[in-house]
Amino acid sequence: MWGMIATWRMAVEGITKGSELLKAGKDAGDAIETAIREVEDFPYYKSVGYGGLPNEEMEVEMDAAFMDGDTLDIGAVAAIKDFANPVSIARRLSHEKVNSLLVAEGAEKFAHKEGFERKNMLTDRAKAHYRKRVKEVAAQEIKPYSGHDTVGMACLDMTGKMTAATSTSGLFMKKKGRVGDSPISGSGFYADSKRGAASATGLGEDLMKGCISYEIVRLMGEGMHPQEACETAVNKLDAQLKERRGQAGDLSLIAMNPKGEWGVATNIEGFSFAVVTENQEPTVYLVTRGEDGHCTFEVASEEWMENYMKTRMAPIEE
């Protein structure tokens, strides 16, 4: 069995490419890196890689991670600027015994020395979004933190190897130097080929309070189906945050186990995800969360898919 599951509709082209490798018997590390690079390179996804939305100072600072579920190797970069594919730098760092999570200038220096492609990641479109938001914030107290989405993936290859990886430009208008859950092991991602892999999107500050990707892998290790593991972990953290703090930020998770079974859970409206397995063509689903915290999903209609692209590519009215 092989398969991949990923957060948001934006991942579908990536997992389609990744699935070609898996189908051909290739490695889960190569497949997930290929899949995430595809999302990083697409200029109209405004929360990952090229075209990602900038921080308060109009700089695109990105976080990314890679984990090998066989060896438990982890590599990650945080607040890195001006490199085309943060996920590849993260994967390269996963081969290091020490110094495998690098931030800002340190990460950039490493990437430069290793010959990774430099690229100005701030597009004119992202600048237009920025200028628009500055105006809106000045006009009224709009939460600067809406408008984000991380691509997070879990992958299983034919040999039974599992990987997890993430890439994001983080929260729009974040403070310079702010790091979310995405490059943090156990929070934004986790992979263990014996138990499964999981990844998160949502409000990093809250996702980190539950080490939620690890929690899901732990539950799968105890024998829970990925769907039950995702719902159990998300509902528990959501309830805990509400009880202790009065509110919970956005929490959305995807997971896969070593059998290629998968699951998702969310505490928001409008979460979408993409999945492909040996038995299933690449498919985008939309998730609905019931009152009881149980999540159901339906295949996104063609109309929804077309609308999605139209909105992504529509001109920005400043």
Q: Nearest CA to 292 among 208, 205, 234?
A: 234
CB nearer ligand ASP, residue 11 or residue 22: 11
Gap between the Cα atoms of 230 and 219, Å rounded: 9
82: left (phi over 0), alpha (psi -120 to 50) or beta: left
Shortest distance in whole angstroms from residue 181 CB to ligand ASP: 5
User: Mutual orientation of helices 86-93 and 28-41 as an angle, nearest 10°?
Assistant: 150
Catalytic residue among 150, 163, 201, 266: 150
Query: What's the CA gap between 179 and 102, in Å, rounded?
Result: 12
CB of 146 to ligand ASP, least distance (A): 10
Stretch that binds ligand ASP, among 88-96, 146-154, 268-276, 305-313 (CB under 6 A): 146-154
Our finding on whether 258 is near ligand ASP (CB under 6 A) is no
What is d(CA 70, CA 77) in angstroms, rounded to the nearest whole number? 21
Say if CB 75 and CB 101 are below 8 A apart.
yes
Q: Residues 6 or more apart from 240 whose CB is under 8 A from it?
A: 209, 210
Q: Which of 73, 108, 181, 215 binds ligand ASP (CB under 6 A)?
A: 181
Euclidean distance between CA atoms 273 and 281, whole angstroms: 14
Candidates 14, 29, 69, 170; binder of ligand ASP (CB under 6 A) is 170
Residue with Cβ nearer ligand ASP (38 or 181): 181
**150 assigned to active site:** yes
Single residue of 68, 108, 149, 192 touching ligand ASP by CB under 6 A: 149
Q: In the complex, what is the shortest distance from the CB of residue 55 to ligand ASP, in angstroms, rounded to a whole number?
A: 11
Q: Is residue 46 within the footprint of ligand ASP (CB under 6 A)?
A: no
Contact criterion met (CB below 8 Å) for 116 and 88: yes
- The one segment of 14-22, 32-40, 68-76, 179-187 that binds ligand ASP by CB under 6 A: 179-187
Footprint of ligand ASP on this chain (CB under 6 A)? 148-150, 168, 170-171, 180-182, 201-204
Q: Which residues are catalytic?
A: 150
